[in-house]
Structure 1
């Protein structure tokens, strides 16, 4: 099977189109599996791209699993710098944006050893050629911090398959760039079921409609590029970052993403925070120029994040509670993983 971008995108789009109505009709039939690598602070790109959607799905009644993928930090780097700090910050951000531990299972990868036992049978179900053709792996290798491609990087889609399937996740919110990874998961689930017996669902992609947010340097907002506005940043830090953002020499503010990406990126950020149309925001600023645009963005971002920051500060004062959230999430994830592993052992004749 050739896992190409074209072959993956079209059917995923068709499946995703009807998912929202099915979720609304029967949210209890779905289990979402998603998460983040603790490689730096979560930022506004994460918030509008994935985080607020997790809260929405949770509030609809979907069973949500969120993994803090600490093991996967080593995928594209040699050491796990500041891992403990980033994990704690990520957990604080999750709680501050509204993820509820009573309805969402938050856990860290390294605390669930049974999850990784799925790797052996899963690796036997895909070929080296299939993994090497994965366009997302190729792109991640190209942007890797490592001088050579590690086995962990090469087999990253299979690790993700274990992350998703250990809890029998059947719904995965993703962007277009992650579809090849999810197709590997679907392939592994299908081949396992055909070879050994029906255990795993073939998870569907819930495609994100979130637009790409640019960072303060005019490129994609990213933890590794130092161009992001962290959810945990103070109001003053946010203002400073936005003041330093790139614009252009045209005083008239317009929303033209193709020809004015830096200005349009700021307009879009303000519009998302204000829940308004970006063209209307640009028209309102008009001839105010870059200074007026940056003031509008700063006010919008700080107004949106003020309650998030307040809740984050409260949670940061109660470290015992925060640790208990992760401990309880790890316990549930371990219980689910052990149940799944028992099924796998049974259909494989006691192997593992």
Structure 2
């Protein structure tokens, strides 16, 4: 390795390590505020990449954490790519499960929430071969050690007691980079925990352009350097006071009916103090129900807590149930219509897959040209 390459590698390690320290986080937050102003002035400058793994049904955590923001950005005029990451289902699983059913369920959720298939591109990993082909040149510019330091990969190693992981799990950060870079997304809405993944994509983009002579001599780089649109994701807990999860049975799913929602919230964990307050540190379960009610009604948690006062857990659960069911009623009605017409959902997906494929093939063409592999 040359001195220049060594310096570059050390700089990359520093970038990856720095991506979540306090100084860098504050810088990213300030830049995100600037980007919001730039979007308001000229949304056509941006293309975002976002999406979900089809491992189960979407729930309130997704709704408040990311889905509403996607609709907001689309409505603002930002070109939006929405990935249904079906290949990523098998990164840490032996099989895909009822993946087709879950993919169509995601599409129904997206459309019911207001994602417009004419303004946004909804597509799947498995239907866009050129996207996945980018993993080969991208893998050549990263090391095994770098991948093992990635927070997601590292946590997977720790969770499994250092048992061997699949090659797909190890290369998960590279696949995510391909997701972002294939469409030349220059903006990725993320929480602070996802910043290392975005930084890895930026490193891969730079290394590729440097290796193949596209970073100097007046040549146009193949890839933009994607930026983070940092969101302070609302942390909505499940009905048991733990992280809301598809697998825990503690999630209020978007597609649930009103009665099932009421039964789940009736079983939600509270505490013995009848006076309702909003104190996420000392009363996390009670505060979670207060927060859900507030988010669903557009009020502050403090106002909701004051209104319920000495009503106790029963009154709080009743308020949360009414708020959630009223908020989701039109979404659920629309979703029921959409789910009854799988042919329409498939047409939306095929249309999105065609758009994404055209974009991916154009990018792959540029990559092959840069690598002098056009025959």
Check if 1:231 corresponds to 2:254. Answer: yes
Match for residue 350 of structure 1? 373
C-alpha distance in 2 between matches for 1:277 and 1:330: 40
Pick the aligned partner of 1:33 from 34, 49, 57: 49
Match for residue 235 of structure 2? 212
C-alpha distance in 2 between matches for 1:166 and 1:262: 42
TM score, norm. by length of structure 1:
0.96
With over 3 angstroms needed to count, the CA separation of the structure-2 counterparts of 1:349 and 1:204, relative to structure 1, is same
**Structure 1: tracts of 5 or more residues without a match:** none
Check if 1:275 corresponds to 2:298. Answer: yes
CA-to-aligned-CA distance 1:223-255 (integer Å, 9 cap, x gap): 122211100000000001101110111111000
TM score, norm. by length of structure 2:
0.91
Backbone CA RMSD of aligned residues: 1.7
C-alpha distance in 2 between matches for 1:47 and 1:146: 34
Q: Considering only CA atoms, is the larger Rg found in Structure 1 or Structure 2? A: 2
The Cα of 1:144 is off from its aligned counterpart by 6.2
Contact 1:32–1:63, Cα closer than 8 Å, also in 2: yes
Q: Count how many residue pairs are aligned between Structure 1 and Structure 2.
A: 352
The Cα of 1:148 is off from its aligned counterpart by 3.3
3-state SS in 2 of match to 1:169: coil
The Cα of 1:11 is off from its aligned counterpart by 4.0
Residues 97-246 of structure 1 aligned to structure 2 (within 5 Å): 97-143=113-159, 148-196=164-212, 197=214, 198-246=221-269
C-alpha distance in 2 between matches for 1:273 and 1:134: 35
**Structure 2: tracts of 5 or more residues without a match:** 1-11, 215-220
With over 3 angstroms needed to count, the CA separation of the structure-2 counterparts of 1:10 and 1:193, relative to structure 1, is farther
Check if 1:247 corresponds to 2:247. Answer: no
The Cα of 1:124 is off from its aligned counterpart by 1.2
Contact 2:157–2:163, Cα closer than 8 Å, also in 1: no
With over 3 angstroms needed to count, the CA separation of the structure-2 counterparts of 1:267 and 1:58, relative to structure 1, is same
With over 3 angstroms needed to count, the CA separation of the structure-2 counterparts of 1:60 and 1:146, relative to structure 1, is farther
C-alpha distance in 2 between matches for 1:145 and 1:270: 39
